[in-house]
Each structure stands twice: as structure tokens, then as C-alpha cells.
Amino acid sequence: MARSSLFGLLFFSASASAHCTRELLIEATDKYVAAQTSGAFGDIVELAASNVTYTENEVPKAISEGVLTESIKIDHNRSIFDTVQCATFTEIIAATNPHQYVIGTRMLFNSEHKISLMESIVTDDGDWAFNATGYLYWNSLENWDPIPEDKRDTYEVIQVSGNAYFERFQNESVVVPFGVPCSRLEGGASTAPLNMTGDSCTLAGLPSTLVVTNRRFVVDEVMGVVDIYLGFPGLDRSQGQTPMPDSHMFRIEEGKIRYIHTVSSCVEAGCGFNGTIPTSRVRRIRQ
């Protein structure tokens, strides 16, 4: 992370941590998941500041115009809680819903405990490697239980471990702390079959000349997880090098990456790969 960004995080943290509790954040994410289940977007409007910024796939819109208006059958949800930044991240898998989704949502809270920023990456057929059924299956084989207190990494170690992954994208000399085993789940496709008991994260390969922009972090020491929101250049080939909305969630155990979950949105169905990324319908561009 750049020095200026780190300074900004520390400055924000000093004010945020004074009022933010894990219990507050858990209650907020519980209400978010319940609202998405019922389509009761008004419940989220009540939690939000009057000047809240809400985006879906980095497109600003009103909460009343987004996916929260839909009642979605949620098969799995997982949230992490950052009391330093007063922020949350929630992963939602809807594999048995009539319209399948995998959604990642990041929320920031102000000093009045209101949502000041809510960013959702809403993926469905046509997005990067999308397969909600596969996402649900591979997730079910993983262990994301809270880390025992005596084995927890620090906030800094968790953040740096995840961030090293993207630093490696532009510098091959960066050592990414992949654990053994390690697996990456992208849209529903897992690297685990490459090496079920070893490091399939390295086997799957990484870019070496790609600059990943606009990284935003949510860190949870209890869960050993950092989620990074970012712009991923070149993800949708139909858009050239325009960064696409992306979330990478890392499970860190004793300083090593154990699991990676990604949620990545494209503009065009199949992300411009001419059918090599499966899609079952014409992509709806979310406005």
C-alpha cells in the first residue's frame, strides 16, 4: 500500500475505532442479508446515511433501483468485520434461486453508525467464470471457522499477506505467502483439482505486468480474512484495459494464504473471450 494511502487509513482508523464494535457490524450485516432475502430494500435505506453512496458494479444508483429490491433465496452467506475502519464485507451465494447470483458487498459506517458507502459486486451468468452451483460446492469443502485466539495474525500481517498477491501481479520478485494447501475459487471454478493437498494457487499462475488499481481493504483478525476491492484491468477483453469491478477475499492462517474467493463483474457476456468463459444467456448490463 502506498504511504499516503496507509496514512489515510491510520487517520480514519483513529476516529472510526472509537465508536465501532463487532456487535454493531454483525447486526448490520444480519439486517443486510435479511433485507436481500426478502427484497426489503427499505430496511437498508433506514440503516443508511442521508448522503449514502450506493453502487452496483461501480455504477452509482439508488438503493431502491438495485438488486436489493429482489427477494433472493440465499444458500450461503459469510461476513467479516473490520472494527478499525468500521467496515464489513459480505459474500452471498444464491445457487438455488431461480436467478443465480454470487454477490460481494462492502459497507462503511460513519460516526453515527449509519452506512456511508455501500458497494456491491453483483455477478450472474456471463460474468467471470460464473457458476454459483460450483461456488457453493467448493465453498462447502472449506473451513472458514474463527481462528483460535492464540493463533491469530495481526491486522497488518493479514492485510499485507493478501496485498502481496496483487503486488506480485506487477513484480515477479514479490513472494506471495501461499500456504500448503492453498486453493483459489473464481466465480465458481476452483484451482483445487490441480493439487488437492498442495499449493494449487501457485500452479494456477499469476500475471507479471499487471497494475491493479484502487485497492480497498476490509480486515478481520478473528476470522483471519482480508477482502480487497479493486479495479482489475483487462478482465473483460471487450473493454480493453478498463478496470473491472473485482473482489478478492483471502483466508490467512499463520501468515499464509489458505483460500482465495473472487467475485468479478464484466460488461459483456463471457468477458470478451469469445465463448471460452461459459455463459447461458445474453448478459444484462446493469445501469
Please tell me whether the peptide bond between 207 and the residue prior to it is cis, using omega within 30 degrees of 0: no
Tell me which residue of 102, 104, 107, 103 sits closest to 88, measured CA to CA.
107
Nearby residues of 219 by Cβ (< 8 Å), 6 or more positions away: 80, 82, 84, 85, 155, 158, 159, 225, 226
**Is there a contact between 259 and 183 (Cβ–Cβ < 8 Å)?**
yes
- Single-letter residue type at 189: A
Q: What's the full length of the chain, in residues?
A: 287
**Is there a contact between 71 and 38 (Cβ–Cβ < 8 Å)?**
yes
Question: What pLDDT does 284 receive?
Answer: 40
Handedness of CA 164, 230, 38, 30 (dihedral sign): positive
CB atoms within 10 A of CB 7: 11
Question: What pLDDT does 19 receive?
Answer: 81
Question: What are the φ and ψ backbone dihedral angles of 52, each rounded to 5 degrees?
Answer: -55, 145
Question: What pLDDT does 274 receive?
Answer: 67
Q: What is the pLDDT along the chain (287 residues), one digit of tens a residue?
A: 444 444 445 444 444 554 899 999 999 999 999 999 999 999 999 999 999 999 999 999 999 999 999 999 999 999 999 999 999 999 999 999 999 999 999 999 999 999 999 999 999 999 999 999 999 999 999 999 999 999 999 999 999 999 999 999 999 999 999 999 999 999 999 999 999 899 999 988 899 899 998 999 999 999 999 999 999 999 999 999 999 999 999 999 999 999 999 999 999 999 998 655 443 333 344 43
Helices (H), 41-131: 41-47
Tell me which residue of 239, 229, 260 sits closest to 58, measured CA to CA.
229
Handedness of CA 87, 95, 75, 64 (dihedral sign): positive
Tell me which residue of 138, 122, 140 sits closest to 36, measured CA to CA.
122
Determine the Cα–Cα distance for residues 61 and 218; give it in Å rounded to an integer: 23
pTM here is: 0.90
**Is there a contact between 223 and 258 (Cβ–Cβ < 8 Å)?**
no
Tell me which residue of 174, 147, 130, 101 sits closest to 255, measured CA to CA.
147
Sheet holding 101-109, edge to edge: 59-60, 48-56, 115-123, 101-109, 87-94, 76-82
CB atoms within 10 A of CB 13: 17
Determine the Cα–Cα distance for residues 239 and 266; give it in Å rounded to an integer: 9
